[in-house]
A and B are shown apart, each in its own frame.
Chain A
């Protein structure tokens, strides 16, 4: 990736993409040309909460309630969908959003008066989502999980046209469960990502694209441009909230083969762009060098001074996450 222009095709990026193709993931976003959207004027984002959380303990239940109150989320009578990140299960690492945090959010949104709170996900590699959730501890942690869960890969779908897409997609079939909800809560694991740089609340939306239509993996998105598709999906869900599981995060060769990193933090907010930019800084990455954040917000709108914060300051929780050598150019200059 060219850190000065992560969206542009460089010779190195092309060569790397060729390697991906040989690995079975042909054509990453770096291969695709990109038309940048008009850059919006500088704006102040919705606040982002940063809280320490040392472990997946009972304290998370109070923490999520506090976050909901702090952001004045009025979910009374509303349909809320919690979208964790379930990818694969490996007992030796921490690929997926921890079920304890998801259950804490479930209880908190219920307590806040939501009419319906569901957990929904559509993994990109493994076809049997319930088995994956079981292996990841969801059945053991979330009572009646099976009745609360929707497999977004196999949900009813509606074709949605993209207005002014930056990717090559013109439309997408999307699951009715997320299209019909009043609030989509993206709950990713804080991780580095070997193609996108970082996988956070916006990249987590790849999981809403139905495998039942597009397959496992959802390779159509790779050919249409990874960064571009993330930015396009972001525009489709304006009523979103993000709660990022950074308690035990992943560094290095994420999102699957990385190394656990105890970052001890939960990050949340009503603007996925602001939350993801803040998470990048916590990991020691420059959000202005992450392609999908550039596309979604414009480089000049990603400044730290434009993102009000609650709780801890970034400096107090920041950790210099290990990244692959290819991504060293994404590091934040401190």
Chain B
């Protein structure tokens, strides 16, 4: 079955998508819409219904809630900004303004002042850049920072939004700096904690791929080391989502790895049937065919 058919079959009656079964969430809905648009179905009625559902998750502050019943705007707002500009239903200007305003709490002056007063090192690389949090008021992490960088890069290319290009560039540079500072010692990325009480932490495939995708076009030895680590991870990765993110990340730097294939010729790893893994597999195949929904305007 084609990925797009599979996704259409999983659309909820309200127009959104769940992660597996049950109520609709913003994240899988955005990825399903991106994947359908990448497969040439951007004008389909199902996509319009999906955008209609998404519209209901936009909150008065301009951000998006992770699902309709949650009364908080979160990192998923960046995902809505990745959707093709022709799709209706998102007030992009307010979503853009909300995203530009978000920073990790640890990079705020209050926290740095506390550290300075205690004589702690407040000038470490890890605290010097404004990344993005998953949830307002918390610290910045690799996942939301990478997705926000991708969203703002798209907005900067498109132009016409409320933030000036210099403001967007400033935030993009901060996000890139954050990602480079949060690389693990093995070369890849994890959720964003590179060391814990003096011990190095290991990187993960999915976050390594996502960070590399956001760092496309960045010429830095740290990126080169990240690519090497990503290729090592891809060779042994048993996660479908991990494989997709690694292929997307490597592909963004001009490397086109094939999906790993088992000895008997079947594709590995086995998919669990979630909307995210189906959509990501579709987006990865589209990117390798020249249509990268994360990078193309």
Decide if A18 touches B118 in the complex (CB within 8 Å).
Answer: yes
Kindly identify, within residues 148 to 164 of chain A, every residue whose CB is under 8 Å from any CB belonging to chain B: 151, 154-157, 159
Kindly identify, within residues 58 to 82 of chain B, every residue whose CB is under 8 Å from any CB belonging to chain A: 66-67, 69-72, 74-75
Decide if A215 touches B69 in the complex (CB within 8 Å).
Answer: no
A154 to B274 alpha-carbon distance, docked (Å) = 11
Decide if B121 touches A22 in the complex (CB within 8 Å).
Answer: yes
Decide if B144 touches A21 in the complex (CB within 8 Å).
Answer: no
A27 to B138 alpha-carbon distance, docked (Å) = 9
**Counting CB contacts under 8 A, is B8 at the interface?**
no
Interface residues on B, range: 35 or more
Contacts of B272 in A (CB 8 A): 130-131, 146
A223 to B108 alpha-carbon distance, docked (Å) = 14
Considering the complex, give the chain A residue whose CB is closest to the CB of B114.
A14
Interface residue from A14, A212, A216 paired with B191 (Cβ < 8 Å): A216
Q: Within the complex, what minimum Cβ distance (angstroms) separates B156 from chain A?
A: 25
**Counting CB contacts under 8 A, is B127 at the interface?**
yes
Q: How many A-B residue pairs have CB under 8 A?
A: 156
Contacts A194-B196, A212-B66, A324-B197; is A219 near B135 (CB within 8 Å)? yes
Considering the complex, give the chain B residue whose CB is closest to the CB of A221.
B138
Kindly identify, within residues 5 to 25 of chain B, every residue whose CB is under 8 Å from any CB belonging to chain A: 19-20, 22-23, 25
Contacts of B105 in A (CB 8 A): 26-27, 223
Decide if B141 touches A217 in the complex (CB within 8 Å).
Answer: yes
**Counting CB contacts under 8 A, is A213 at the interface?**
yes
* Interface stretch (choices B49-57, B88-96, B237-245): B237-245
Interface residue from A26, A128, A155 paired with B104 (Cβ < 8 Å): A26
Decide if B139 touches A219 in the complex (CB within 8 Å).
Answer: yes
Contacts of A146 in B (CB 8 A): 272
Decide if B199 touches A25 in the complex (CB within 8 Å).
Answer: no
Q: Within the complex, what minimum Cβ distance (angstroms) separates A4 from chain B?
A: 20
Contacts of B277 in A (CB 8 A): 128
Decide if B135 touches A19 in the complex (CB within 8 Å).
Answer: no
Decide if B121 touches A216 in the complex (CB within 8 Å).
Answer: no
Contacts of B202 in A (CB 8 A): 88, 90
Contacts of A61 in B (CB 8 A): none
Considering the complex, give the chain A residue whose CB is closest to the CB of B192.
A24
Decide if A24 touches B182 in the complex (CB within 8 Å).
Answer: yes
Contacts A157-B67, A173-B70, A216-B134; is A27 near B106 (CB within 8 Å)? yes
Considering the complex, give the chain B residue whose CB is closest to the CB of A135.
B238
Decide if A11 touches B118 in the complex (CB within 8 Å).
Answer: yes
A227 to B263 alpha-carbon distance, docked (Å) = 49
Decide if B106 touches A26 in the complex (CB within 8 Å).
Answer: yes
Contacts of B192 in A (CB 8 A): 24
Using an 8 Å CB-CB cutoff, how does the interface string of B107-127 with A read, 1 for contact, 0 for none? Answer: 000010011001111101011
Decide if B241 touches A26 in the complex (CB within 8 Å).
Answer: no
Decide if B196 touches A126 in the complex (CB within 8 Å).
Answer: no
Decide if B106 touches A214 in the complex (CB within 8 Å).
Answer: no
Decide if B191 touches A154 in the complex (CB within 8 Å).
Answer: no
**Counting CB contacts under 8 A, is B133 at the interface?**
yes
Contacts of A11 in B (CB 8 A): 118
Decide if B139 touches A134 in the complex (CB within 8 Å).
Answer: no
Decide if B111 touches A213 in the complex (CB within 8 Å).
Answer: no
Decide if B138 touches A24 in the complex (CB within 8 Å).
Answer: no
Decide if B126 touches A22 in the complex (CB within 8 Å).
Answer: yes
Contacts A24-B192, A125-B190; is A15 near B106 (CB within 8 Å)? no
**Counting CB contacts under 8 A, is A257 at the interface?**
yes
A88 to B193 alpha-carbon distance, docked (Å) = 14
Q: Within the complex, what minimum Cβ distance (angstroms) separates B123 from chain A?
A: 10
List the interface of chain A (C-beta within 8 A of B): 11, 14-15, 18-27, 31, 88, 90, 125-128, 130-131, 134-135, 146, 151, 154-157, 159, 173, 194, 212-217, 219-220, 222-223, 253, 256-257, 324, 326
5 contacts between A and B (CB under 8 A): A21-B126, A22-B127, A125-B190, A159-B70, A253-B196
List the interface of chain B (C-beta within 8 A of A): 19-20, 22-23, 25, 27, 66-67, 69-72, 74-75, 104-106, 111, 114-115, 118-122, 124, 126-127, 133-135, 137-139, 141, 143-144, 182, 190-197, 199, 201-202, 204, 206, 238-242, 269, 272, 274, 277
For the A-B complex with A19-B120, A21-B126 known, give 13 more contacts whose Cβ atoms are closer than 8 Å. A15-B120, A20-B196, A22-B121, A22-B126, A22-B127, A23-B195, A25-B196, A27-B111, A130-B272, A131-B238, A215-B134, A222-B138, A256-B201
